[in-house]
């Protein structure tokens, strides 16, 4: 299918601009940006390259249609009017895997799922001239999203969420997702030739995502996607070519200074194993170390971290000491910048410095803020130093 299609990439609320830039950098036109998603256009190859290459999207959805519906009759008729035969072969296995509604008159997810399925069946019965669908072919999961009575009906090209890169089979307490970690790194000026330290590294997500960026390892390079088997929409050779393109781009023969510390030796073991599975174990130094011992001899580095949140009452009491230790360690570093995602509101007081920026971010269901303490910019390299 070479025609241009409308594609929807959901993401964390507040991080739409980061995903928009990623999609633009892949070479695709942005249709529009809404809360929690970026809509763009592209052909079948765009579906493949977006799934393999986007670091901050949660999945890639192929929009079949968009319409307004305020009654279940309207919903049925509008769904039935869509050209499902262009997407679903006669033997397709299809179901409505999820229906989300916000501020819409139709709010029963189970009823929406049932009606959408029935409408598609009625459409395909007329097109294919059959009364029974075996549904013994490939899977085509359908997602429905409604906002203020406007419905978007999509096919999920991804399957398991894009944050599941395949390298993290174990995680420590309060892990940060891979997609959120990547987006937060992209919100900073860090790039591969700069120092990055995570003093609360847990299972290593910040360090691993940064190392994958440095080595140009596509986040979806080592996993599979539902639409790999949609040969009626995406030719198999398109997948083969895009996976090969991603493999050819990898370069792990680079020098990096990416470090991850934690006080839990078992968590450090998990982080090392995750880095090995991600193919970046040579690019990261993991070590058991307390935050109060954080130090580095070089200037202009970055701390990017997800410190403890203190969700239990007894843990909350320990938070001021933890953040004071982080603030003191940061103060002792020469010209560094520090970025923390946390719901803890006393960070400025414990750092004895007001954050330069803070951005509201949801980490799962927890409302947090991404605090930025900015250091000076390093001097520009002279031309003879760059060559």
Min mean pLDDT across 148-157, 208-217, 309-318 is at 309-318
CB 112 within 8 A of CB 96: yes
Is the residue at 165 inside a domain? no
- Give the pLDDT confidence of 240-290 residue by residue, as tens digits: 999 999 999 999 999 999 999 999 999 999 999 999 999 999 999 999 999
- Provide the angle, in degrees to the nearest 10, between the axes of the packed helices 265-278 and 205-214: 30
Question: Is 56 a member of any domain?
Answer: yes
Q: Are residues 21 and 66 in the same domain?
A: yes
Same domain, yes or no: 183 and 294: yes
**pLDDT score for 322:** 95
Q: Are residues 150 and 37 in the same domain?
A: yes
353-376 pLDDT, tens digit each: 999 999 999 888 889 999 999 999
* pLDDT on residue 2: 63
Number of structural domains, the chain? 2
Return the number of other C-beta atoms located less than 10 Å from residue 36's C-beta: 17
Task: Fill in the DSSP letter of residue 196.
Answer: E
The CA dihedral of 130, 133, 138, 140, to the nearest 10 degrees, is 90
Domain annotation covers residue 315: yes
Q: Does position 314 have pLDDT exceeding 90, yes or no?
A: no
54 and 129 co-located in one domain: yes
Sheet strands (E) in 103-187: 139-147, 150-156
Residue 9: CB partners within 8 Å, gap ≥ 6?
19, 23, 37, 38, 39, 40, 50, 54, 57, 58, 59, 60, 61
Strongest mean pLDDT among 80-94, 171-185, 351-365:
80-94
Give the CATH number of the domain where residue 330 resides.
3.40.50.150
Identity of the highest mean pLDDT range in 193-207, 312-326, 352-366: 193-207
- The answer on 278 and 356 residing in a single domain is yes
Domain of residue 343, residue span:
178-217+252-376
Res 1 pLDDT > 50: no
The rounded distance, in Å, linking the Cα atoms of 296 and 190 is 17
> What phi and psi, each to the nearest 5 degrees, are found at residue 56?
-115, -5
Residue 244, domain member (yes or no): no
pLDDT, average across residues 18-38: 96
Whether residue 321 is found in the same domain as residue 257: yes
- Whether residues 126 and 256 share a domain: the answer is no
Mean pLDDT of the chain: 94
- Cβ atoms of 151 and 69 within 8 Å: the answer is yes
User: What pLDDT does 387 receive?
Assistant: 46
What is the distance between the alpha carbons of residues 225 and 50, in angstroms, rounded to a whole number? 11
173-178 average pLDDT score: 80
């Amino acid at each position: 299918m070479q025609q241009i299609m409308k594609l929807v990439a959901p993401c964390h609320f507040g991080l739409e601009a980061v995903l928009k830039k990623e999609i633009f950098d892949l070479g695709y036109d942005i249709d529009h940006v809404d809360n929690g998603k970026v809509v763009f256009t592209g052909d079948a190859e765009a579906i493949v390259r977006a799934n393999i290459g986007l670091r901050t999207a949660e999945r890639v959805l192929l929009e079949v249609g968009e319409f307004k519906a305020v009654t279940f009759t309207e919903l049925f008729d509008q769904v039935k009017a869509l050209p499902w035969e262009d997407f679903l072969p006669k033997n397709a296995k299809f179901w409505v895997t999820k229906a989300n509604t916000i501020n819409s008159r139709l709010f029963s997810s189970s009823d929406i799922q049932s009606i959408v399925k029935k409408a598609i069946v009625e459409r395909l019965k007329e097109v294919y001239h059959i009364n029974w669908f075996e549904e013994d072919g490939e899977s085509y999961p359908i997602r429905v999203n409604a906002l203020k009575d406007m419905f978007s009906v999509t096919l999920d090209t991804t399957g398991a969420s894009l944050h599941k890169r395949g390298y993290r089979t174990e995680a420590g307490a309060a892990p940060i997702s891979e997609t959120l970690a990547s987006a937060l790194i992209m919100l900073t000026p860090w790039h591969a030739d700069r120092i990055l330290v995570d003093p609360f590294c847990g299972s290593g997500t910040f360090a691993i995502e940064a190392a994958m960026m440095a080595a140009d390892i596509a986040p979806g390079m080592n996993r599979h996607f539902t639409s790999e088997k949609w040969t009626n929409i995406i030719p198999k050779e398109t997948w083969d070519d895009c996976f090969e393109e991603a493999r050819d781009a990898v370069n792990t023969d680079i020098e990096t200074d990416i470090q991850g510390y934690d006080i839990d030796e078992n968590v450090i073991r998990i982080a090392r194993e995750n880095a090995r599975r991600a193919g970046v174990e040579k690019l990261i130094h993991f070590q058991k170390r307390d935050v109060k011992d954080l130090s580095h001899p070089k200037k202009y580095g970055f701390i990017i971290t997800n410190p403890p949140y203190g969700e239990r009452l007894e843990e909350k009491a320990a938070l001021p000491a933890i953040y004071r230790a982080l603030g003191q360690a940061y103060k002792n570093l020469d010209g560094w910048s520090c970025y923390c995602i946390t719901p803890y509101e006393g960070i400025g007081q414990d750092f004895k410095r007001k954050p330069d920026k803070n951005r509201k971010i949801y980490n799962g269901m927890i409302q947090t803020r991404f605090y930025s303490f900015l250091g000076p910019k390093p001097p520009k390299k002279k031309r003879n130093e760059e060559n």
